[in-house]
Amino acid sequence: MDTISEPTAESGIVVQAPAALLWDTVADVTRIPEWSPVCHRVEWLDGPREPVVGARFRGHNKLNGARWARDCAITEAEPARVLAFSTFYKGQESTRWRYRFEAAGSATTVHEAYQIVLIPPWLQLLRRLPGMVAKSERDTAWNVTTSLERLKALAEAAPLGG
């Protein structure tokens, strides 16, 4: 598994919170549903139940009436700097997600990037329908942007970390 080389979508936002606190929040993957418009539940799987490389979890998602779950593995975990994970479809890496935190005084710029690695065959067929690729790209951009906006609102409304 590699880092994100060619993002499918990416965005950044300035948050009035320390990088360490933001990292701690994002690294508690069970909290992702607090800001993600797509992920509605996360649970740790076997092995470590903490944000370390190799730790596994399952995310349960829903969008546009569809529901699916993906097993995930943390691929980078550098406190206050980077948290990244890959999702898997039938044992193959499917997508990569990466959060990067850049501290600047009392604020932090949070960058979120997403890359499609493998599109499942059923989704490849669906993407052949007119307008579906553009819709998928819009949905992905909306997901990343909305996630960052919600994370910012959460961080700036009350102290994070718990």
Residue 2 lies in a domain: no
| Residues 74, 116: Cα–Cα separation, whole Å | 16
Residue 1 lies in a domain: no
Query: What residue numbers bound the domain in which 145 lies?
Result: 9-157
Mean pLDDT for all residues in the chain: 89
When mean pLDDT is compared across 5-14, 49-58, 63-72, the lowest value belongs to: 5-14
| Residues 118, 103: Cα–Cα separation, whole Å | 33
Amino acid occupying residue 73: A
Average pLDDT, stretch 34-55?
Answer: 96
Average pLDDT, stretch 3-10?
Answer: 79
Residue 135 lies in a domain: yes
Instruction: Give the CATH number, domain containing residue 135.
Output: 3.30.530.20
Q: What is the pLDDT of residue 162?
A: 47
Average pLDDT, stretch 1-8?
Answer: 70
**Number of structural domains the chain divides into:** 1
Residue 68 lies in a domain: yes
Backbone angles phi, psi at 129, to 5 degrees: -70, 145
pTM, 2 dp: 0.88
Residue 3 lies in a domain: no
* Letter string b/e over residues 75-91, b meaning 16 or more CB atoms within 10 A of that residue's CB: bbbeebebbbbbbbbee
Residue 105 lies in a domain: yes
Residue 4 lies in a domain: no
Residue 61 lies in a domain: yes
Q: What is the dihedral sign for C-alpha 80, 150, 96, 61? A: positive
82-118 pLDDT, tens digit each: 999 999 999 999 999 999 999 998 999 999 999 988 7
**% of the chain surpassing 90 pLDDT:** 67
Q: Quick check: 46 pLDDT over 70? A: yes
